[in-house]
Amino acid sequence: MGEGEASAMEMGEDEWVRVNRVVSMGRSLFKKLLFDDSDEDEIMRRVLKGSRVQRKRRQYIERDRLAGHKRLYLDYFADTPMYPPNLFRRRFQMSQNLFLRIQHKVEAYESYFMQKRDSAQKWGLSSLQKITTALRMLAYGVTADFMDEYLQIGEFTAMKSLKKFVKAVVDIFSKEYLRSPNNEDIARLLANGERRGFPRMLGSIDCMHWKWKNCPVAWKGQYSGHIREPTIVLEAIASFDLWIWHAFFGLPRSNNDINVLERSLIFSELEQRRALAVNYSINGHEYTMGYYLADDIYLKWSTFVKTIPSPQGHKNKLFAKAQEANKKDVERAFGVLQARFAIVRGPARFFHSETLQDIMKVCVILHNMIVKDERDVNKAVELDYEQIDDNPTIQLSRENTNTFTEFIETHQCIRDHKNHFQLQSDLIEHLWYQHLG
């Protein structure tokens, strides 16, 4: 069997007929070219039209990249910029110093953001243009070509800049801004909880749902809940200053808050006794673990303090009011996170779940960076941490364990219903005495 016959067998019948038609048409037109004075370009146009081959030419747009960089620099980063710092803060969702710090770290970590010359020896986009595009897409939730007229950046480059930016920020700043609270942090959280009537409180826990517009059809049933729209769940723990200490993202919406809790690693360090142990005394009873304020859907564990659904009596009503008010810290954190980064407020338009996880993580990281940057030390409530550490009722320590028996004991202690009700009763009495005094 020859090569021509083998090729014919590989082609479909319709395709082979079309090829023969093109060849025969080309032969006839070639004969006409030899014996006629017809224009060669016209003949070739008729060949292409007859074969129905439509070659789509790539449209090239000449962008003045240097002019875009100069415009951005004069507007926001010059010694005397056109727009004042308050407008920079509103449009970039952060101060200029914090932006420049991120830009310096990202440019040093990822060579993609360094300004280079292309094959035509023309200067490419600067790191200011690429990072500004990524931040505007995060802050405003706009499409990739929204910044083209102002920054002279194409749609493909904008999308690539966003993906590389979120990846770089997660790799650089996760260790610092997605960490567990240390000794000093816990002391500050405990002192603030004591001042608000909840001693030994470490924060509040809840879940947020992000709608996934472009969820693959094969996954829609898995990611859809009672609202019949695919969403992804974020579990978070936030403190009084809106700092997000724990962020677990990626589970489908078909899981409720309890299922997400079982999959997250929120208590893994505590179960392995690698977390800081908090020894505390409330109403004459000793406790060894911190707790979080939670909704009624969460289980009755010793690490959760929930409200009373239908409180009866002044003590229970006072406790329910205080618990529901202080538990809103995490809801306020979700609201501020969505207000700062509209990309997590609107429906997600990306197709890959890995990209969505990086975007959610980078929004939490940037949120914590902004919280730390804008924390006013002079106006903050001064707390005597040394006095807290010297207080005999509070001890912060770290106990490591490698035995399976100790792991099981701690695991059961976390899920102890008896301790849950005892802690709730002690807090009710503590708030009532604090209210009377």
3-state DSSP assignment of residue 206: strand
Domain match, 49 and 96 both? no
| CA 136 – CA 335 distance, rounded (Å) | 19
pTM for this predicted structure: 0.81
Relative to beta strand 201-211, strand 291-293 is: parallel
Domain match, 149 and 91 both? yes
Nearest C-alpha neighbor of 241 from the set 120, 320, 336: 336
Relative to beta strand 304-305, strand 291-293 is: parallel
Domain match, 164 and 191 both? no
* Confidence check: pLDDT of 223 > 90: no
Last residue of a domain, one of 169, 202, 229: 169
| 238 falls within a domain | yes
Quickly state the pLDDT bin for 273 (edges 50, 70, 90). Answer: low
Domain match, 321 and 358 both? yes
Domain match, 264 and 136 both? no
* Confidence check: pLDDT of 148 > 50: yes
3-state DSSP assignment of residue 221: helix
**CB 102 within 8 Å of CB 96:** no
How many degrees, rounded to 5, is the angle at CA 170 between CA 164 and CA 171? 90
| 359 falls within a domain | yes
| 174 falls within a domain | no
The pair of three-digit structure tokens given for residue 363, joined into one six-digit string:
């929004």
Relative to beta strand 291-293, strand 285-287 is: unpaired
Domain match, 78 and 214 both? no
* Confidence check: pLDDT of 101 > 70: yes
Last residue of a domain, one of 117, 136, 169: 169
Write down the pLDDT at residue 406.
Answer: 76
pLDDT for 292-332, tens place per residue? 999 999 999 999 999 999 899 999 999 999 999 999 999 99
| 111 falls within a domain | yes
Domain match, 351 and 271 both? yes
DSSP annotation string for 285-329: EEE-S-EEE--TTS---TTEE---SS--SHHHHHHHHHHHHHTHH
Domain match, 383 and 277 both? yes
Write down the pLDDT at residue 259.
Answer: 85
Of 264 and 6, the structure prediction assigns the larger pLDDT to 264
pLDDT for 343-384, tens place per residue? 999 999 888 989 999 999 999 999 999 999 988 544 544 444
The number of distinct structural domains making up the chain is 3
3-state DSSP assignment of residue 164: helix
Domain match, 129 and 194 both? no
pLDDT for 390-403, tens place per residue? 443 445 555 555 57
* Confidence check: pLDDT of 140 > 70: yes
Domain match, 346 and 287 both? yes
Write down the pLDDT at residue 332.
Answer: 95
| 175 falls within a domain | no
367: domain range?
A: 183-436
Sheet holding 395-398, edge to edge: 285-287, 276-282, 395-398
* Confidence check: pLDDT of 71 > 70: yes
Last residue of a domain, one of 169, 191, 223: 169
At a CB cut-off of 8 Å and minimum separation 6, what does 323 contact? 198, 293, 305, 306, 307, 308
Measured N-to-C along each axis, helices 417-436 and 314-326 cross at an angle, to the nearest 10 degrees, of 100
* Confidence check: pLDDT of 185 > 90: no
Domain match, 215 and 297 both? yes
| 31 falls within a domain | no
Domain match, 381 and 427 both? yes
